[in-house]
Amino acid sequence: MAIRIQRIPSAPPAAALAARAVAIVLALLVAGLVLAASGADPLRLASQVLGATFGSSFGLEDVGLLVTPLILTGLSVAVALKIGAWNIGAEGQFYAGAFAATAVALFVPGPTVLMLPLMFLAGALGGLVWILVPTLARAYADVSELITTLLLNFVATLMVYYVSTGPWLDPSGHALATTARLPHDIPEFWGIVHWGFPLAILLTVLVAAVLNFTRWGYEVRIAGSNPQAARYAGMPFRRRLIVVMLLSGAIAGVAGMLEVAGTVHRLQGGISNNFGYLGIMVAVLARGSALGVLAGAALMAVILNSGIILQTQGITVSTVLAITGLILFFTAIGDELAHYRVTRTKPVGA
């Protein structure tokens, strides 16, 4: 009998889950060895991280605040991946959504019960508008959305910095480089976690249902896996591409609205905390699955929160980033290895 390693197109769910679990454990072991070599006590640090993250409601609430924008930015990237597009601009769309929602909150009078839905729509529209040019460029001129969406991130970031330190600067002078506190807040859901958290989960489930159980979603998936086959079958590939990319931008814009209205309550530079870029990692960890984004975002939120805790224990930012990179690196390897299996074949002529 000869042994052969074979790659299968789709990894069995049990194998993928086991590979990911083993990868995370190995990454943590390597990180522990690195910390021990630097003179730290990895077991004590691990105990403090677990206790601070899962041993108190405060730690879980912090994770909840982090996971909300990560779910939506990850979903934004994952939706675009369904049709074969890479939305690298979720960061810029996040800022555009926060910008639009803030403009409505500061300059449009009205009761909170009406203003919050209006801010939600403004956030979605802000993200949609920010991805509009890259979408049309890709659909009609075949311009790579990788470059256009990435470059617009810097424009959106600088725009928010400009208005929060200039025209929209808090007139009371109580805060520097930020707007006044928004008059409308998203109510709290649990502790300091606002209702944006269940809303993000609900939106993810809704998008997953549309992609998996409707004709439109079926055409999107076919167009993403084989554009030529979709065109041959009469599916409107260009129209599907435009709608999906605009939906992707709108979702990232909603993430910005929820962050500014539910967590920060002011528009300021750096409000994103790189959630848009981290959403790319979340989507990759989820392997493009809309529902898988929930697990990927939860893992990323725990990693980010653990990094904050480690910094309070004297661990440098560089070390925290290295540990985060190790976990993501090993997880990516585990996901890929889950697609391989060992088979036994009879030699020719046996």
pTM surpassing 0.85?
yes
CATH number (1.10.287, 1.10.155, 1.10.20, 1.10.3470) of 57-313 reads: 1.10.3470
Q: Identify the pLDDT of residue 281.
A: 86
Q: Are 128 and 79 in contact (CB under 8 A)?
A: no
pLDDT in tens, 42-99: 888 888 888 888 888 888 999 999 999 999 999 999 999 999 999 999 999 999 999 9
CATH 1.10.3470-classified regions of the chain: 57-313
pLDDT in tens, 257-307: 999 999 999 999 999 988 999 999 899 888 778 999 999 899 889 888 888
